[in-house]
Each structure stands twice: as structure tokens, then as C-alpha cells.
């Protein structure tokens, strides 16, 4: 089974992203920074947050679902705010999505917030609402259920340091996943956690019996040439002892976002 985790950067590099996903064809895709804009048929809209301005693929969830047509897609919104079509405000939902090949039955799932709650009228003040999604699928190749979960961790304008909010977020994420966990079954945790490798977030997850794969495989981090800040780590993937890790890669080429895809093969 091929499991991919990626912050899609709102589809800023849409053509590269779609081409890569079509070729890679993961069995499970955990995608963060997903845009869903039912009020617009525009291809691209603009996100504005002070000096932070980015092109966004207006209906990234729909477009990824169309490319991964053999998958079931589940969109998990964290907030509805405003994107811009020139000078026109367009209501748009922002969150994460999970895509699962139809041959893997989804036998349980949980969606919940790890910070704040759904923000219905604007994206909100930083640090903004953050959600997580956990699925339990049945893998007939290994004849076992498997839990896969991802979240998009808090973005703090001050940096990636430990905060009480990030500690609480990690514990909520762990609780969400443990609700679905079965004895001796594989567990996979992933996402853009927005923390450093020595963070309290990762310590909490490791103390729960999980092994972090990113820093064991690369010292280059998980950000590519599109990311201009000094800190190179943001994305992580952790597994328990019941996961058979056949291969794991941090993909630096092609560049399909300002984050690198994480690809686990079991």
C-alpha cells in the first residue's frame, strides 16, 4: 500500500501537483491546505492576509477528486473565509482532505478539531482553527485493519516553538486516533505539524509508542526551494510497530508545493 502525505499549498502549483498525483497514484492521500469554493467556477482565486498573498486553486478538492477518480474523497473544513476574484469577495472553505482507493473499505472514521472549532464567517485570528481526520480501512493484502490519520498543525506567526496550544493539539490528535485503534493493528500518523524535530509534539507522539520516520531518512527537512525561510522541517510521518515499512521517501523532485510529499510504502 502506498500512503502519501502532503501540504498542497492551496494548489498554488496546481499543474505540477495534479501531474504528480496522477502519476504517483497513491492508495491513500492525506492532503492539507485544501480549498473548496462551491460559490465560484473560477480556476484560481487569491488569498490575502496582510502582506501574505497567494494564488489558490478555487476548487482544489474537486479537481484532485477528478484526477483520483478511483478514490473516495472526504473533505474536512476548518473554516470558511474569503478569497478574491480581482476585487470581488468569494466565500471559500479551507481545510484538509483524505482520498482512499475504492478497493480499501473505510470501516470507521473520525473528524475532529485539535484547536478551536469551525470558523463559519472568516478564517480567524492566528493561531487559527485546526482539524484532524482519522480513517480505519481494511487492507485485504495484510488481512488487517489499519488506522491512518493526519492533521494540519497550528501556524504561529512567532515561529515553530513549543506552546501550550501545540501541546494540547498533540494530545487531542493522539486521543482522536486512539479512539479507532485496535490491538496489534497498524497506526500511521502524519501531517504538516508546523513544529521542529525536537518539539514537544513529537515527544508526546513518540512516548505513545510511535516511530518518527522523516528525521531518520533525511537531514534536508521537508521544505523545498519555494520555501524561503530558514526552518526546513514541518511535515512528519510516524508509525507504530505493527506497520511494515517497505519504503519511505521525502520527495524533493518534482516540486509540487512548498512542502515535500512524504510517501510510505507498506
- Condensed to tens digits (0 to 9), the pLDDT of residues 82-96 reads 999 999 999 999 999
Which residue do the cell numbers 472568516 mark? 122
| Whole-number pLDDT of residue 27 | 98
| Whole-number pLDDT of residue 65 | 98
- Condensed to tens digits (0 to 9), the pLDDT of residues 182-226 reads 999 999 999 999 999 999 999 999 999 999 999 998 999 999 999
- Beta bridge partner(s), residue 71: 101
- CA angle (10 as vertex; 6, 12 as ends), nearest 5: 100
- Beta bridge partner(s), residue 34: 95
Is residue 264 over pLDDT 90? yes
| Whole-number pLDDT of residue 89 | 97
* Residue burial 119-155, b: 16+ Cβ < 10 Å; e: rest: beeebeeebbbbbbbbbbbebeeeeebbbbbbbbbbe
Average pLDDT, the chain: 96
- Beta bridge partner(s), residue 191: 151, 236
Is residue 118 over pLDDT 90? yes
Is residue 51 over pLDDT 90? no
CATH fold label, 2-265 = Deoxyribonuclease I; Chain A (3.60.10)
Nearest alpha-carbon partner for 234 in 250, 253, 256: 250
| Whole-number pLDDT of residue 50 | 85
| Whole-number pLDDT of residue 137 | 98
What average pLDDT score do residues 32-49 get? Answer: 96
Is residue 241 over pLDDT 90? yes
Say how far apart CA 33 and CA 10 lie, in whole Å.
Answer: 5
pLDDT band at 157 (very low <50, low <70, confident <90, very high): confident
Amino acid at each position: 500500500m502506498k500512503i502519501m502525505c502532503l501540504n498542497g499549498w492551496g494548489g498554488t502549483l496546481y499543474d505540477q501537483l495534479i501531474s504528480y498525483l496522477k502519476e504517483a497514484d497513491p492508495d491513500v492521500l492525506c492532503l492539507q491546505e485544501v480549498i473548496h469554493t462551491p460559490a465560484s467556477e473560477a480556476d484560481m482565486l487569491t488569498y490575502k492576509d496582510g502582506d501574505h498573498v497567494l494564488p489558490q486553486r478555487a476548487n482544489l478538492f474537486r479537481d484532485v477528486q477528478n484526477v483520483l477518480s478511483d478514490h473516495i474523497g472526504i473533505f474536512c473544513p476548518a473554516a470558511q473565509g474569503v478569497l478574491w476574484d480581482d476585487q470581488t469577495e468569494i466565500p471559500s472553505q479551507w481545510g484538509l482532505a483524505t482520498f482512499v482507493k475504492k478497493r480499501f473499505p473505510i470501516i470507521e472514521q473520525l473528524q475532529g478539531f485539535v484547536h478551536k472549532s469551525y470558523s463559519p464567517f472568516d478564517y480567524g485570528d492566528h493561531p487559527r482553527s485546526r482539524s484532524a481526520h482519522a480513517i480505519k480501512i481494511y487492507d485485504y493484502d495484510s488481512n488487517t485493519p489499519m488506522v491512518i490519520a493526519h492533521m494540519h498543525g497550528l501556524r504561529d506567526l512567532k515561529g515553530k516553538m513549543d506552546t501550550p496550544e501545540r501541546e494540547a493539539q498533540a494530545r487531542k490528535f493522539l486521543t482522536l486516533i486512539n479512539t479507532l485503534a485496535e490491538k496489534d493493528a497498524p497506526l500511521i500518523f502524519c501531517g504538516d505539524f508546523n513544529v521542529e524535530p525536537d518539539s514537544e509534539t513529537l515527544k508526546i507522539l513518540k512516548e505513545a509508542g510511535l516511530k518518527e520516520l522523516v528525521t531518520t531518512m533525511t537531514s534536508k527537512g521537508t521544505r523545498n526551494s519555494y520555501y524561503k525561510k530558514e526552518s526546513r522541517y514541518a511535515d512528519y510521518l510516524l508509525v507504530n510497530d505493527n506497520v511494515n515499512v517497505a519504503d519511505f521517501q521525502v520527495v524533493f523532485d518534482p516540486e509540487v508545493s512548498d512542502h515535500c510529499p512524504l510517501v510510505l510504502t507498506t
